[in-house]
Amino acid sequence: MVIPLMVPVVASAVSAVVSAGSATFAAIWPMHFARARRLEAEETARKMKNDLMEILIRVMLQNHLDELQQSAAEDSRRVEEARLAAEKKWFEGVRPECHPSEEDINRMKATYHYNPGFIHIAVVGSAGAGKSSFINAVRGLSTNHTMAAPAGIIETTRTVTRYPDPRPNSRTIWYDVPGSGTLEVPDWKYFNDMGLYIFDCIIVVIDNRFLDSDLAILRTCEQFKNIEAFLVRSKSDQHIKNMVSQKMGFDPWDPDSDMDDTTRSLFRLTRSQEHQRFIDETHQNVQINLEKENLPPKNVYIVCNDAMHQTVCTGKIHPTKTIDEAKLLDDVKEFTLKRLQLGCST
């Protein structure tokens, strides 16, 4: 048979193929092993590079964060140092100047609805000086009128409140400003915080005493050429009444007081004398305080709300209470007309 004779031949051929494959594998295997080692090394290097890059980024971010924190701390320190320096100067008698930025001016004008076609008058002063009552009287309103500003013995104004003048064709807007020198608004930052630098006119209302906060407002007004400042002594009728009662030893305005003709004559004389004394002492006190602060002389308008209200509503002066009400109204009107002619831009 042929098949048996072929077996050795096939076996020999298979052996030859296996021998050839072994030789080829032996030759190729080192190449594959070297390539695998190279790829593994490349992968390890890539991971190390990525890890190193991640560490580097973290370090850079941490350094940047540290710089930001340090910068913020330095800014905070500088702000605190500036605040303390300003307060120190204030207590030493050196008042910081007010220099609002353009952004501050625009922001406060938007807050107070500033309109260039109108005159904006801020009524300021210490707590309880009678600012709200003055605003009512100068607008011709009684305290119980629906458009009246709330008024009371204690400080009733907590935020700056806008009161348009109710008279026909009026171009004046009044602003009731919280009292200066309170715990809520210390006088050294009052002018800036209230944004008083945007107003066309500021009326400083004083009562019994001419306070440092009043002087601070007038001093700061001097820095702004666009601001007209008026000084008003309020509640003149109450002060004169107290002076007369003290001089006579009783309250002659008491309806139960029984006065004979001689006492009535003495009352009229005393009222006239104390009326003039109050005017003289008020002017003298104001000028002395202005001179102490190196401020220029300034007229002070002595008013009471009853007389102001009557003058505004009727054009007539009160027979016993009127002092400077008509003069103040005329001067404010004159300023208003001039400012409107020139334009209200600041």
DSSP character string of 58-83: HHHHHHHHHHHHHHHHHHHHHHHHHH
Task: Say if CB 124 and CB 217 are below 8 A apart.
Answer: yes
H helices, E strands: number in the chain: 9, 6
pLDDT value at residue 345 = 46
Phi, psi (deg, nearest 5) at residue 188: -70, -15
Give the pLDDT band of residue 14 (cuts 50, 70, 90).
very low
Task: Say if CB 85 and CB 78 are below 8 A apart.
Answer: no
pLDDT tens digit sequence for 201-255: 999 999 888 888 899 899 899 889 889 999 999 999 999 999 999 999 999 998 8
Q: Are strands 300-302 and 161-164 parallel, antiparallel or unpaired?
A: unpaired
Is 50 exceeded by the pLDDT of residue 3?
Answer: no
Give the global pTM: 0.70
Q: What is the mean pLDDT of the chain?
A: 83
| Contacts (Cβ under 8 Å, ≥6 apart) of 194 | 122, 124, 160, 177, 178, 185
Displacement of CA 5 from its chain's centroid (Å): 117
Task: Say if CB 204 and CB 150 are below 8 A apart.
Answer: no
pLDDT tens digit sequence for 52-102: 888 888 888 888 888 888 888 888 777 777 666 655 555 444 455 667 899
pLDDT tens digit sequence for 285-299: 999 999 998 999 999
Q: For residues 105, 109, 111 and 116, what is the CA-based torsion angle, rounded to 10 degrees?
A: 180
Contacts for 182-186: CB closer than 8 Å, 24+ residues apart: 182/127, 182/155, 184/158
